[in-house]
Chains A and B, each alone.
Chain A
Amino acid sequence: MFYREAGDFKTSYASDNQTFPIRFDRLGYFTAMVVAFLVVPFLINDYWANAILLPFLIYAIAAIGLNILVGYCGQVSLGTGGFMAVGAYACYKLMTAMPEVNIFFHVLISGGITAFVCVLFGLPSLRIKGFYLAVATLAAQFFLVWLFNRVPWFYNYSASGQINAPERTLFGIEVTGPNTQAWATYLFCLVFLVGSAWIARNLTRGMTGRKWMAIRDMDIAAEIIGVNPLKAKISAFAVSGFFVGISGALFFSVYLGAVEVGEAFGINKSFLVLFMVIIGGLGSMFGSFAGAAFLVLLPVVLKVVGVDWLGMPTDLVAHLQLVIVGGLIVVFLILEPHGLAQLWRVAKEKLRLWPFPH
């Protein structure tokens, strides 16, 4: 009743091809954009930005990247943390080596560099599949973290082995460094997220996306139809790497400011982003957002409920959090293996009829 597609007729293929073909969805999308760009920046404070919004925006970019690789192209990757580290260190090197170039371009170029590295580690995917590929990307994860730890050139020979983001501005407003405003960093990341989501959506609804999905669903048939498996897989690794690299660069420069590679980009990060993609929904753009939101919000909600409402000790809540998040993931995968995106689709189906039973 509230969610209707009846009466929403298409008169051209262009209008049938749009991202949100249903008027209700389009309205929702425009509302969300208006709120995100025009309302949230005025309400935001440091706590909201650092605890929820920035991690959500940045992880959503990473989840979109990984979803392209795992959800659309069917190539399992456990190297996301390592690839985010490539983005972060590329961004650091660029910021210190070329301070005159704008930070915006640094982040983009970091994405490009990560895409290249990702392709290198993706080459074995032509020969190995499934679990074996997962292990190969796991090797990438450990190798890259080791590399950034052991080769001092990457952290400019600093004594601590850490990298620190210098202060950089965009249109005269600081977006990195210690004196940033919450709204500035928020908007900076939001622009990247919207851009990434838009590009990812365009690619996945077009021929490139069809090639990826063809490889995912049945690689032999795809090849016989004329999909070049080398090009399809490599392009998936490249595009995925680009987004993951951008998220790594933002994670370091805008969100954390200072990074020690093993801590910030360890194997845990790879799993976290993979969980986001699986819980959100493989092969769904909405799923990338939902998964990132779920895993960013859940610890915050649990902390608020446990510490502030129930008055439990902080360390107990921290431990409980691990148990609950883990348990929820298991329950979730059993009840809805296709993730939050599928839950959303089912809800929409129901809403079409509500409040009538048929």
Chain B
Amino acid sequence: MSTQESYVTEDGRTIGPTVMEMKNITLRFGGVKAITDISFDIREGEIRAIIGPNGAGKSSMLNVISGFYVPQEGEVWYKGKKRPPMKPYQVAEQGIARTFQNIALFEGMTVLDNVMTGRIRQMNAGLFSQAIWKGKAEQEEIENREFVEKIIDFLEIQHIRKTPVGRLPYGLKKRVELARALAAEPSILLLDEPMAGMNVEEKEDMSRFILDMNDEFGTTIALIEHDMGVVMDLSDRVVVMDYGKKIGDGTPDEVRSNQAVIDAYLGVSHD
């Protein structure tokens, strides 16, 4: 495969070798095939979009990547190794973080605590140390707080740091969820419809955050989005799905001129 070579994009970002590869994934729920024989790869440092009409299997795909569903057939290769079936928390330990289509924040906790929870991989002081709040636990708490504050600054949510998440409006919740995922310093960040239900201004903010994240932290991002303008502007490469099958894969321009993609979105006459 030629994708192993690094290259530099037009805007000067370096896209590295493949970090994750899906090989012939098939996912069934009983008799329903949600995903049929799909293969694609995600390269280091790129923004990879997965698009498709409703019910195409995009979210299922993301759930396969994050370990929530185990596919019946196919293999997931991550950092050059085949990934055995895992629990979701083990996948998270490997450095894959995600956000959800319908926000899944911890409503009873403050924004700060929510984002700190994202640091779970980096904080492993023992129960005893935590119980007396001395030594490793205390030190870890402060070090990770510093990192989390950087993320909070970056996403411009300083003013709501100590607010319980349950009280926040929708747009801010989306941002807090992004902060929580970003706090994990993930190798791959999965975003499930980060702009769903937002107005133009919020979408612009969110796009800016996604681009900055990719640029500043070099985070590899895989995202699902329905807003075509956003997808085409943000992403380096796009996978198009329809009825659980892959119908297109390539740069935004390639995908835009792909006849199968146009048919899927605009419909074809069945006569």
| Genuine A/B complex | yes
A residues sitting closer than 8 Å to B (CB atoms) are 12-14, 17, 199, 202-203, 206-208, 210-211, 213-214, 216-218, 220-229, 235, 239, 283
Assess the A13–B89 pair: CB atoms within 8 A. Answer: no
**CB within 8 Å of A: which of B113-149?**
113, 116-121, 123, 125, 127, 130-133, 137-138, 140-142, 145-146, 149
* A-B complex: 5 closest residue pairs judged by Cβ atoms: A226-B92, A221-B104, A217-B106, A202-B133, A13-B145
Please name all residues of chain B whose beta carbon is closer than 8 Å to the beta carbon of A202 when the two chains form the complex: 130-133, 137
Q: A203 and B145 in contact (CB under 8 A), knowing A210-B116, A217-B109, A283-B108?
A: no
* Residue numbers in A under 8 Å from B104 (CB-CB): 218, 220-221, 224
Whether A13 contacts B108 by the Cβ 8 Å rule is no
Cβ A225 vs Cβ B133 within 8 A: no
Which listed residue (A199, A208, A223, A283) contacts B89, Cβ 8 A? A223
A143: shortest Cβ distance to chain B, in Å?
Answer: 28
Please tell me which one of the listed residues B89, B105, B132, B142 contacts residue A224 in the complex, with CB atoms under 8 A apart: B89
In the bound complex, CA of A202 to CA of B136 (Å) = 13
Residues of chain B lying within 8 A (CB to CB) of residue A216:
106, 108
Q: Would you call the interface of chain B mostly helix, strand, loop, or mixed? A: helix
**Shortest CB–CB separation between residue A150 and chain B, in angstroms?**
35
For window 91-120 of B, CB contacts with A under 8 Å fall at 91-93, 97-98, 100, 104-109, 113, 116-120
Contact with A along B141-164 (1 / 0, CB 8 A): 110011001000000000000000
Contact of A226 among B109, B121, B145 (CB under 8 A): B121
Task: Tell whether A227 pairs with B120 under 8 Å between CB atoms, given A202-B132, A218-B106.
Answer: yes
Find chain A residues with CB under 8 A from B88 CB. Answer: 223-224
Report the nearest B residue to A226, measured CB to CB: B92
Q: Do the beta carbons of B142 and A13 come within 8 Å of each other? A: yes
With a 10 A CB-CB cut-off, give which of A214, A224, A229 has the most chain B CB atoms: A224
- Report if B66 contacts A (CB, 8 A): yes
Quick check: B130 and A208 within 8 Å, CB to CB?
yes
Of A13, A199, A283, the residue contacting B146 (CB under 8 A) is A13
- Residues of chain A within 8 A (CB-CB) of B118 are 225
Instruction: Please tell me if the beta carbons of B131 and A225 are within 8 angstroms of each other in the complex.
Output: no
Measured CB to CB, the nearest residue on chain B to A215 is: B106
Listed in ascending order, the chain B residues whose CB lies under 8 Å from chain A are 66-68, 87-89, 91-93, 97-98, 100, 104-109, 113, 116-121, 123, 125, 127, 130-133, 137-138, 140-142, 145-146, 149, 180, 184
A residues near B138, Cβ cutoff 8 Å:
14
Contacting residues, chain B, for A211 (C-beta < 8 A): 117, 120
Q: Is the CB of A17 within 8 A of B141?
A: yes
A13 to B214 alpha-carbon distance, docked (Å): 28
A65 CB, nearest partner CB in chain B, Å: 14
Whether A221 pairs with B106 at a CB distance below 8 angstroms is yes
Could you give 15 example pairs across A and B, Cβ below 8 Å? A14-B142, A202-B133, A203-B127, A203-B131, A206-B137, A207-B116, A208-B130, A210-B120, A214-B106, A216-B106, A221-B106, A222-B117, A224-B89, A225-B120, A226-B89
CB neighbours of B107 from chain A (8 A): 217-218
B116 to chain A: closest residue by CB: A210
Task: With A14-B142, A202-B132 as known contacts, state yes or no: A225 contacts B108, CB within 8 Å.
Answer: no
Interchain CB contact (< 8 A) of A207 among B68, B91, B98, B120: B120
| 19 more CB-based (< 8 A) A-B contacts, given A13-B145, A202-B131, A220-B104 | A199-B131, A203-B127, A206-B133, A206-B141, A207-B125, A207-B140, A213-B106, A213-B113, A214-B109, A216-B108, A217-B107, A217-B108, A218-B106, A221-B100, A226-B184, A229-B89, A235-B127, A239-B127, A283-B108
Partner of A228, one of B66, B89, B125, B127: B89
Does the CB pair A224–B92 fall under 8 Å?
A: yes
Given contacts A203-B131, A208-B130, whether A17 and B87 have CB atoms under 8 Å apart is no
Known: A218-B106, A221-B105, A223-B87. A17 touches B145 (CB 8 A): yes
**Closest B residue, CB atoms, query A229:** B89
B89: min CB distance to chain A, Å: 5
State whether B105 touches A17 (Cβ < 8 A).
no
Q: How far is the CB of B198 from chain A (nearest CB, A)?
A: 20
Measured CA separation A315–B71 after assembly (Å): 68
A207 neighbours in B (Cβ, 8 Å): 116, 119-120, 123, 125, 130, 137, 140-141
Bound-complex Cα distance A218 to B142 (A): 26
| Min CB–CB distance B37 → chain A (angstroms) | 26
CB distance from A14 to the nearest CB of B (A): 6
